[in-house]
Structure 1
Amino acid sequence: MKELCWLLTTHCNENCGYCSKFTHLPVITNAEYKRILEILEQYGTKHITFGGGEPFLTERFDDIVRMAKQKGIHLKVVTNGDYLLEHGEILPLLDEITLSLDSVDRQVNEKLGRGADHYSHIQQVLTYFKENRVEANININTVATRYNLDYIQAMIPFIKRAKIHAWRILRFSPLRGRAARNKAEFAISDNDFEQLRMDLKSQDVGCPYRLVDYDGMSQNYLLIAPDGNVYVPDDLKDVKVGHILKDDLKQYFC
């Protein structure tokens, strides 16, 4: 079963040089969100991962979450966390919240394009979760690039202290957009990624973790782009299979 990722928007407040979000696409209208959720329900969808851009910048994100939860769908959101606390009313409806964090070092986060204060803001978000007893499973996504490769192990004390549910470390993938243009700047070698795997294997990480290489990205995800087109990533390319509102795509959701 492929993981369904609904990329709701092209907008983001950060400027990560390795980002592979879709850009320069027309975004579907607000009126179409309900119809898309009805189609996904007809296809038997049980899980949705919301992404972007930054999904919390989607104009009707709270309404989308409420409509999806009414259909009994397991909901996960991948976010940089910057706008999350402004949406406190829907946090109880989310089953998983995945925070993007690539380093605990200020200079590294600045170099990556997240901003020097990104780690401290993530800490504030986690404090809010604890104080307000947010029950969603809290995950961390880390993208392994040339700039932060030597700093990933330094994240382990934070991962353990924050009682993270799961940590996913994804190899930088020049799939599309800025990531494709900046491949030479951010890419790491097969040996680099394997060495990271071996280094982490000898560590007490404190939670389940998974390293995702290129083969783990191909054919394992079904993407709904902000314009409604549906793609299956394959061999670092987007293979378009149709449009969620125009085509019968049930076979891809089975």
Structure 2
Amino acid sequence: MTPAAFSFSEIPVAVNWHMLDACNYRCKFCFAKFNNLKGICHDIQKSRTVLLKLKEGGVKKINFTGGEPLLCPTLGELIKYAKELGMATSIVTNGYYLTENPGKELLKEYGEYIDWIGMSLDSGNPEVELALGRAHLGQDGGHVKRVRGAVRLIKKVAPKIQIKINTVVTRLNWKEDMHWVIEELTPERWKVFQLKIVPGVNEGSTSLAITEEQFREFVNRHADLNPIAEDNDLMTHSYLMIDPLGRFYDEESQLSNWRNSLVEATFKEALRGLKFNPLKFVQRGGIYDWGGVK
């Protein structure tokens, strides 16, 4: 099913805007790669145009992600603008900069405009996270401690923000019991993803891949925590994604995107040829109480 087969007004959808390619982490399985595209997030007017056209097209929620979105100097202004347009707002971050500037200042100045913050945490074991590349410039092993500190900071500085934890299940953590850390963090949502290999993007992480049975074993071990589970099939074509230039893309066009940017194109034109299945979007729990939608 394509976007033309359903109404955006009937199915409220969210868009993930991968604002920039840059990131201070070196995650081995990263799928958010864009051939070092120099994006438009530094240009506030172009970025606002993208957000306005999304809103006019019927999008209800915007997820600012990356790379690492906190490396974008206009992030706070864009979050505020999206909120003023009536969209629910979310940041998906590795959490590193939330425990220091610019994250602390972002929470203080723009926290009231942020509905959700999603953070990546694959393990309660710092050594596992380090082995996966969840480390500042690939060199430190403090990711678990940093995420725990970031959650405490959010609850103190901007307690209305709801927290989501994202966990990628791989060969290094599928046998793990993460109860202690999830119960400590008490996120409103815990999403667990089977590591997905995207051809041409993260094929180098094939050795970390797991079977669907191994993924289900991890999910079942944590069933009492109500994780939202996404296997490879459920993820495929169930996300509306925009690259750093403001262009819709899917797996097949991520590294060779021919679509027009929302900076110049209409919403309908920008969607041309995109592979998106709204039924899968609904099935994977894409619609929930986002908060902040007008």
- Equivalent-residue separation in structure 1 for 2:157 and 2:220 (angstroms): 37
CA contact (8 A) 1:76 1:98 kept: yes
* AA in 2 matched with 1:163: T
Shift of 1:213: 0.7
* Structure 1 residues 1-254: aligned runs within 5 Å: 1=11, 2-23=13-34, 24-28=36-40, 30=43, 31-84=45-98, 85-86=103-104, 87-88=106-107, 89-115=109-135, 116-151=141-176, 153=177, 155-175=178-198, 179-183=202-206, 185-201=207-223, 204-205=224-225, 208-233=226-251, 242-250=260-268
Shift of 1:244: 2.0
More strand as a share of residues: 1
Tell me the SS of whatever aligns to 1:111: helix
* AA in 1 matched with 2:26: N
TM-score normalised by the chain length of structure 1: 0.87
Q: Deviations over 1:104-161 (max 9, x none)?
A: 101101101113100101111122123235211111000011112222x2x2122122
Q: Deviations over 1:66-115 (max 9, x none)?
A: 11111111001111111123312112211111111011101101101113
* AA in 2 matched with 1:145: T
Taking only the aligned residue pairs, the percentage that are identical comes to 27
CA contact (8 A) 1:143 1:169 kept: yes
- Equivalent-residue separation in structure 2 for 1:95 and 1:177 (angstroms): 34
CA contact (8 A) 2:121 2:144 kept: yes
CA contact (8 A) 2:196 2:209 kept: yes
Shift of 1:55: 0.5
How large is the Cα RMSD of the aligned pairs?
2.5
Q: Deviations over 1:150-208 (max 9, x none)?
A: 22x2x21221222210100011111266522322x21111221122233333xx32xx3
Tell me the SS of whatever aligns to 1:83: helix
Change (3 A) 1:249 1:71: closer
- Equivalent-residue separation in structure 1 for 2:153 and 2:22 (angstroms): 25
* AA in 2 matched with 1:182: S
Where do 5+ consecutive residues of structure 1 fail to align? none
TM-score normalised by the chain length of structure 2: 0.76
CA contact (8 A) 2:53 2:266 kept: no
Shift of 1:239: 7.9
* AA in 2 matched with 1:170: F
Change (3 A) 1:237 1:173: farther
Where do 5+ consecutive residues of structure 2 fail to align? 1-10, 136-140, 279-294
- Equivalent-residue separation in structure 1 for 2:229 and 2:257 (angstroms): 24
- Equivalent-residue separation in structure 2 for 1:66 and 1:14 (angstroms): 26
- Equivalent-residue separation in structure 1 for 2:251 and 2:161 (angstroms): 28
Q: Deviations over 1:4-37 (max 9, x none)?
A: 1011011111111011112322312513112112
Count of matched residue positions in the alignment of Structure 1 and Structure 2: 247
Tell me the SS of whatever aligns to 1:46: strand
- Equivalent-residue separation in structure 2 for 1:246 and 1:64 (angstroms): 18
Change (3 A) 1:13 1:215: same
* AA in 1 matched with 2:179: I
